[in-house]
Amino acid sequence: MNSLKHIASIALFAFSATGFSQTMYPKITGYFGILHPIVTVSNEQTNLNFRDYYAVGFPTGINIWKNQKIGFSFEIVPNIKDEDGHDKVTNILFHPGVLVALGNGYTFAGRLAFESGGRYGVTPVINKTIIKSDNCSYFVAVPLPVRFGNDHPATFTVGFQFGIAF
């Protein structure tokens, strides 16, 4: 009977050690970042952040990874703009999307975009984890928003984002 208990405890230990060393799915992570749109282009004009105005966004979200390769993300981004000495929150962006792990720390996010200011569109994002630790990781990303609606011409923006995931 003692040998049966001994075998069972070894098997339980091996199972537990294996379970703790592997990532369990679904896996939920949160993140916070700072987004700087760099240039926005439409058929009417080209606007440069830091020259024509200063705009900044604060993406905050939750990622739910189904497995190592695919996941769902929901992000909310309050955007602030300072122009001619006046600053205000210009809109809140609701940004659900699909995540695809590309390997080597790269992730593609394909997001839908719904802005409180009346614009909508899509935002493809390429993300790269640059520092990874046990508790968090730091990342950089290049979002490429395309927006329509609200009686404005279609726009395409190139942005730069950095942040922390935990």
Three-state DSSP class for residue 19: helix
Determine the pLDDT at residue 143.
Answer: 98
Distances (CA, A) of 17 to 7, 23, 80, 122: 15, 12, 47, 43
| Confidence (pLDDT) at 18 | 46
Average pLDDT, 10 consecutive residues per value, the chain (166 residues) = 52 47 87 98 97 96 98 98 96 98 98 98 98 96 98 98 98
What is the residue type of 65? Answer: W
Spatial distance between the Cα atoms of 114 and 49, rounded to a whole number of angstroms: 21
Given this model, what pLDDT does residue 127 score?
Answer: 98
Token code pair at residue 24 = 């369990």
Please give the structure tokens belonging to residue 59. Answer: 């993406």
Asked whether 55 and 75 are in contact (CB, 8 A), the reply is: no
Q: What is the pTM of this model?
A: 0.85
pLDDT at 23: 81
